[in-house]
């Protein structure tokens, strides 16, 4: 029996995102995929701002942004009372200030491909195709007593033969009809009725003026969403059409979808010059009754939540499930953190799944209430939902890795348990204007961000010296928790953010622990010090103001490897940094 640390069932969004993290940590896993090769086309396409941020943090954001359609505006069309449609409003797709990244559209096959290439680059990690997982069992006795045991047994069928694998951990990323979920005896709870949707990727010839904008059309003949797709030259466009309740998806034909679309568009005409892909599928609003088995098998993605595609959440929430469990397994399996942090996956993502279903119910009602929702109410509801659909509302509850302590007053726009908002800063060493989020790469490091205020003020300067002394001490958290083979910034990285004129400060005034000598040549890393200052070409980011931090008081913010905020502390309370990490990190000898 082959033994692996992590066995991932399914190479969709959830499985590949978890695998990319594991590859980044250098943890090898086995990814079993039923298909004979990578996904070729189809399915989800909407990439939330938050997902773009994640791709950027893995170093694949630029490719995504270059290839994708950027959704900047949403247009609303509704019945004019005489059987024709008319435009009723327009709005920004993402309200300004939510994220420094846009909402984009790119097909799921390409998104999966970006992750596959990234994990290959990180760790030569491959997917094993043609493996159909048939069963999963957990030896509960071994799970409880031995962290190094392989209590999970996964059976798969490959080329007509049964193969068995032993795993320390397994991830059920095998989609809505998850075999793993069924093998564990878990059920999906929620609505019994399924909404039926038709989806077509087409190249339309039309006189409809907003065909290259995301548009919602609510006509007497039904509801249609237009999602312009990547590739400006070929006019690829996706149409989502909600079909009548009770429709059997298997009975839907391409002709049905085309006829309904043409009738919704009236008085505009639409022809379909090419049909690239189409499908009809039924979706219920449900989530799994359990998200884990003995904290050894975890359910992620559609295996534990399904809902309508209206708000473009499916791929994103699934991918973010994988993102959440991936780094936690990475920390545990590289001996950095206690296995107890895995419990936070369930705490955090189960809540997200329940919120998702509730949001989908609200959004479905908004779309479907026909005459009872005025075009104006519909538009307002759509805009209100914007923060959610951008993927920026998840708030994780208190746990060992998300402190319940600390004062929100110190950074009034930073919420513990939510992803740290970004703002433009100027890097001290080379005056490059950069987004704060660019410092938060998905490389497995925790960040201790020190908003120190104006370093020309003696009290601020002496606070930085005290914090530096504490962090540099041989019994301080950096030495205590960082493996000896790594550089001193290899697990807990400091980031200093000053306020005011950067040219009034010299590097020597900043303690060396904030730019330690690292790497094979042991050269001081100057790229960890920033200023909230005017840049040469891109203006001023006003980061302190945006985050709600007073330059006089400053703040210490501990950020998790997934960019979520663990704690906001007073500068004077720097000793709590060690106390926080003692809660789950393992001292390294």
Ligand X SMILES: Cc1cc2nc3c(=O)[nH]c(=O)nc-3n(C[C@H](O)[C@H](O)[C@H](O)COP(=O)(O)OP(=O)(O)OC[C@H]3O[C@@H](n4cnc5c(N)ncnc54)[C@H](O)[C@@H]3O)c2cc1C
H helices, E strands: number in the chain: 15, 30
**Contact (CB, 8 A) for 13 and 108:** yes
* Near ligand X by CB under 6 A: residue from 61, 102, 198, 309: 309
Size of residue set near ligand X by CB under 6 A:
32
Question: Per-residue x/- marks for ligand X, 282-301, CB under 6 A?
Answer: -------------------x
* Near ligand X by CB under 6 A: residue from 105, 172, 179, 455: 179
* Near ligand X by CB under 6 A: residue from 4, 6, 9, 416: 9
If binding is defined by CB under 6 A, does position 467 make contact with ligand X?
A: no
CA angle 129, 135, 140 (to 5 degrees): 125
Cα–Cα separations (whole angstroms), residue 249 to 176, 283, 305, 547: 16, 10, 20, 48
If binding is defined by CB under 6 A, does position 32 make contact with ligand X?
A: yes
If binding is defined by CB under 6 A, does position 314 make contact with ligand X?
A: yes
If binding is defined by CB under 6 A, does position 152 make contact with ligand X?
A: no
Give the footprint of ligand X on residues 107-146 (CB under 6 A). 131-133
Which position among 25, 69, 186, 240 bears the catalytic label?
240
Q: What is the closest distance, in whole angstroms, from the C-beta atom of residue 362 to ligand X in the complex?
A: 17
Q: What is the closest distance, in whole angstroms, from the C-beta atom of residue 1 to ligand X in the complex?
A: 18
Sort residue 137 into left (φ over 0), alpha (ψ -120 to 50) or beta: beta
* Near ligand X by CB under 6 A: residue from 174, 454, 489, 533: 174
Q: What is the closest distance, in whole angstroms, from the C-beta atom of residue 118 to ligand X in the complex?
A: 16
Q: What is the closest distance, in whole angstroms, from the C-beta atom of residue 132 to ligand X in the complex?
A: 5
Alpha helices in 124-202 (DSSP H): 140-145, 179-183
Strand partners, 157: 132, 162
Spatial distance between the Cα atoms of 41 and 357, rounded to a whole number of angstroms: 26
If binding is defined by CB under 6 A, does position 279 make contact with ligand X?
A: yes
CB closer to ligand X out of 172 and 449: 172
Which position among 229, 296, 349, 419 bears the catalytic label?
229
Question: Per-residue x/- marks for ligand X, 34-53, CB under 6 A?
Answer: xx-------xx-x-------
Give the tokens for residue 525: 């890393």
CB closer to ligand X out of 14 and 390: 14
Annotated active-site residue 240? The verdict is yes
Taking CB under 6 A as the binding criterion, the range among 32-40, 82-90, 394-402, 443-451 that sits at the site for ligand X is 32-40
Number of Cβ atoms within 10 Å of the Cβ of 329: 26
* Near ligand X by CB under 6 A: residue from 6, 14, 488, 513: 14
The residue with tokens 């391409």 is 254
Annotated active-site residue 229? The verdict is yes
Taking CB under 6 A as the binding criterion, the range among 163-171, 311-319, 473-481, 522-530 that sits at the site for ligand X is 311-319
Say whether 188 sits in a helix, a strand or coil.
Answer: strand
Backbone angles phi, psi at 366, to 5 degrees: -60, -45
Annotated active-site residue 38? The verdict is no
Number of Cβ atoms within 10 Å of the Cβ of 244: 8
Which position among 25, 34, 45, 287 bears the catalytic label?
45
Strands 492-499 and 529-532: parallel
DSSP per residue over 212-263, as a string? TSEEEEEETTEEEEEEE-S-TTTT-EEEEEEEPTT--GGG--HHHHHHHHHH
Strand partners, 448: 494, 558
Q: What is the closest distance, in whole angstroms, from the C-beta atom of residue 316 to ligand X in the complex?
A: 8
CB closer to ligand X out of 346 and 575: 346
**Contact (CB, 8 A) for 7 and 30:** yes
Q: What is the closest distance, in whole angstroms, from the C-beta atom of residue 505 to ligand X in the complex?
A: 48
Give the footprint of ligand X on residues 201-260 (CB under 6 A). none
If binding is defined by CB under 6 A, does position 389 make contact with ligand X?
A: no
Annotated active-site residue 45? The verdict is yes
Contacts of 215 (CB under 8 A, 6+ apart): 74, 75, 76, 77, 225, 226
Contacts of 261 (CB under 8 A, 6+ apart): 200, 224, 239, 241, 270
Give the footprint of ligand X on residues 428-447 (CB under 6 A). none
Say whether 560 sits in a helix, a strand or coil.
Answer: coil
The residue with tokens 């809505």 is 176
Give the tokens for residue 108: 């799921």
Q: What is the closest distance, in whole angstroms, from the C-beta atom of residue 296 to ligand X in the complex?
A: 18
* Residues near ligand X, by CB under 6 A: 9-15, 32-35, 43-44, 46, 131-133, 173-175, 179, 199, 279, 281, 301-303, 309, 312, 314-315, 318
The residues that are catalytic are 45, 229, 240, 309
């Amino acid at each position: 029996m082959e033994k692996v640390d992590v066995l991932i069932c399914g190479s969709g969004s959830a499985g590949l995102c978890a695998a990319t993290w594991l590859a980044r940590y250098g943890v090898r896993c086995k990814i079993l995929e039923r298909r004979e090769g990578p996904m070729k086309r189809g399915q989800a396409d909407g990439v939330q701002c938050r997902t773009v941020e994640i791709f950027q943090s893995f170093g694949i954001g630029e490719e995504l942004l270059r290839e994708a359609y950027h959704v900047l505006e949403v247009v609303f069309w509704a019945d004019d009372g005489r059987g024709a449609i008319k435009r009723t409003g327009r709005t920004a797709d993402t309200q300004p200030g939510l994220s420094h990244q846009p909402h984009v559209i790119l097909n799921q096959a390409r998104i999966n491909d970006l992750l596959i290439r990234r994990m290959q680059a990180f760790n030569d990690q491959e997917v094993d195709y043609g493996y159909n997982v048939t069963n999963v069992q957990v030896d509960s006795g071994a799970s409880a007593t031995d962290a190094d045991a392989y209590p999970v047994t996964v059976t798969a069928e490959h080329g007509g033969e049964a193969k068995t694998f032993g795993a320390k951990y397994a991830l059920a990323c095998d989609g809505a009809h998850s075999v793993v979920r069924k093998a564990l005896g878990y059920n999906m709870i929620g609505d019994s009725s399924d909404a039926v949707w038709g989806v077509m990727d087409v190249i339309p010839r039309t006189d409809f003026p907003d065909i290259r904008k995301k548009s919602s059309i609510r006509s007497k003949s039904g509801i249609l969403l237009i999602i312009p797709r990547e590739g400006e030259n070929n006019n690829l466009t996706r149409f989502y059409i909600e079909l009548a309740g009770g429709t059997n998806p298997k009975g839907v034909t391409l002709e049905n979808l085309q006829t309904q679309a043409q009738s919704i568009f009236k008085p505009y005409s639409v022809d379909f010059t090419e049909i690239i892909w189409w499908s009809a599928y039924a979706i219920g609003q449900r989530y799994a009754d359990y998200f884990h088995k003995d904290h050894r098998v975890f359910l992620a993605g559609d295996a534990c939540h399904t809902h309508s595609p209206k708000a473009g959440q499916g791929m994103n929430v699934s991918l973010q499930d994988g993102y959440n469990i991936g780094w936690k397994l990475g920390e545990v399996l590289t001996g950095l953190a206690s296995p107890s942090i895995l419990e936070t996956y369930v705490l955090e993502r189960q809540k997200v799944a329940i919120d998702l279903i509730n949001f989908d119910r609200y959004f479905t009602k908004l779309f479907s209430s026909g005459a009872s929702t005025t075009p104006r109410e519909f538009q307002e509801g759509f805009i209100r939902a914007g923060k959610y659909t951008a993927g920026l509302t998840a708030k994780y509850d208190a746990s060992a890795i998300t402190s319940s302590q600390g004062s929100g007053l110190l950074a009034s726009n930073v919420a513990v348990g939510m992803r740290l908002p970004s703002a433009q800063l100027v890097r001290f060493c080379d005056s490059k204007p950069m987004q704060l989020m660019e410092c938060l790469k998905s490389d497995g490091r925790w960040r201790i961000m020190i908003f120190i205020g104006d370093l020309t003020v003696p009290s601020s300067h002496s606070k930085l010296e005290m914090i530096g002394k504490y962090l540099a001490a041989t019994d301080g958290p950096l030495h205590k928790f960082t493996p000896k083979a790594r550089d001193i910034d290899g697990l807990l990285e400091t980031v200093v953010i000053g306020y005011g004129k950067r040219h009034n400060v010299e590097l020597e005034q900043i303690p060396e622990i904030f730019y330690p000598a690292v790497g094979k040549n042991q050269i001081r890393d100057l790229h960890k010090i920033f200023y909230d200052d005017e840049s040469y070409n891109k203006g001023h980011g006003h980061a302190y103001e945006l985050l709600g931090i007073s330059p006089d008081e400053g703040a210490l913010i501990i950020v998790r490897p997934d960019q979520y905020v663990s704690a906001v502390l007073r500068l004077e309370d720097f000793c709590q940094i060690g106390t926080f990490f003692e809660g789950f990190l393992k001292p390294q000898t």
